[in-house]
Homo-oligomer: A and B are copies of this chain.
Amino acid sequence: MLFENGRKRGDTVSGYKVAILGASGAVGRMMVKVLEERNFPVRDLKLLATERSAGKKIDFHGEKLTIEVAHPDQFKGYDLALFSAGSSVSRSIALEAVKRGCVVIDNSNAWRMEPDVPLVVPEVNPEELENHRGIIANPNCSTIQMVVALKPIKDRFGLSRIIVSTYQAVSGTGLRAIEELKSQSLHMLNGETKEPEVYPYPIAFNLLPHIDTFSENGYSREEMKMINETRKILKDPKIKIAATAVRVPVFYGHSESIYIKTIEPAEVIEIRQVLSKAPGVVVYDNLEKLQYPMPNLVEDNDQVWVGRIRRDLDEDCGYHLWVVANNLRKGAATNAVQIGEELMKRGLL
């Protein structure tokens, strides 16, 4: 028996001591699942959350682990911590964990734009990990899938412009939003109404062009994240990016309608070829066979699916793509675990 309630059994066992903060949430639970699926070498897994979730149990490799209340000393002796709490929790506790010797991979917005914090998508900019000082930021879900699809195109043809409209699943908001979409849908189908609790307006059979809060320039913070994080990850502060972020009544899987301008002209078939060889990408783009990415295709996988690749009809170097990925997996938990794997590979853990 290797794991039990975060306590280590036997010093000779190899692997890392891993803690997950926010383990009871949608992303936290997925982190546990992905660590298991990918056989990340864990010799001790500690699950942490607020008092409200303490005592809940989560399966890991066949064992029931109990969630404990998070406090700084919980990270003592741990090698790696995956954080999926809010930004304010991350701000207050991440440095405490680092001080105690832990490398933190943080899924919140707290550290992403700090100049000395690497913001990493392993398929795109793994080399940034070399400079880490204890905290590594996991990008926003919508950003991750976009840069996985666009980086190979940028490397081959250059990239000067991105205009993206998103179609984002409710699981990005969390478990309560998943419940809200379920119960609201049932109520509406029965001709009843139910006051929304998680979102300001009904999400069932509706859409909200509103993700996170709004900033003064008229953009939502989600839209600004996509703009700023993409520039940082692609190391191109001048790339022109605009985003419109929209919440849709889908449980899992974010979709993105993306317009790009490359610097060198490309044939559509060349873009398809480049993407076909790109890590983490599935080109699913055969209109005769009605093959195009959809959220229901990404429920159980970690790939970024790209389809509807076509040339703009009016502009040289203009192209349109449709990109779908599981926001809890590649957009959050899987990317975090992949960062952990990359740290291992590079001897940085």
A→B interface (CB under 8 Å): 163, 165, 167, 181-182, 185-186, 189, 200-202, 205-210, 214, 217-219, 227, 240-242, 244, 246, 248-251, 255, 257, 259, 268, 287-288, 290, 292-296, 307-315, 318, 320, 322
Contact = CB atoms under 8 A, between A and B. Distances in A.
A292 B312 CA distance: 29
Given A185-B185, A313-B227, A296 B218 contact: no
A219 B318 CA distance: 14
Contacts of A251: 205
Contact of A249 (B182, B217, B250): B250
Contacts of A240: 314-315
A220 to B, nearest CB: 8
Contacts of A293: 209
A308 B211 CA distance: 12
Nearest to A315: B240
A206 B217 CA distance: 31
Contact of A294 (B182, B208, B312, B313): B208
B287 A202 contact: no
Contact of A255 (B200, B209, B227): B209
A218 B165 CA distance: 19
Contact of A314 (B219, B241, B244, B290): B241
Contact of A295 (B182, B207, B257): B207
Nearest to A219: B310
Given A205-B251, A290-B210, A268 B218 contact: yes
5 pairs of A and B residues whose beta carbons are closest in the complex = A218-B310, A240-B314, A165-B257, A165-B165, A214-B287
A207 B308 contact: no
A55 to B, nearest CB: 28
The residue among A219, A257, A268, A315 with the most chain B CB atoms within 10 A of its own CB is A257
A241 B163 CA distance: 14
A240 B290 CA distance: 27
Given A182-B189, A209-B292, A217-B310, A322 B268 contact: no
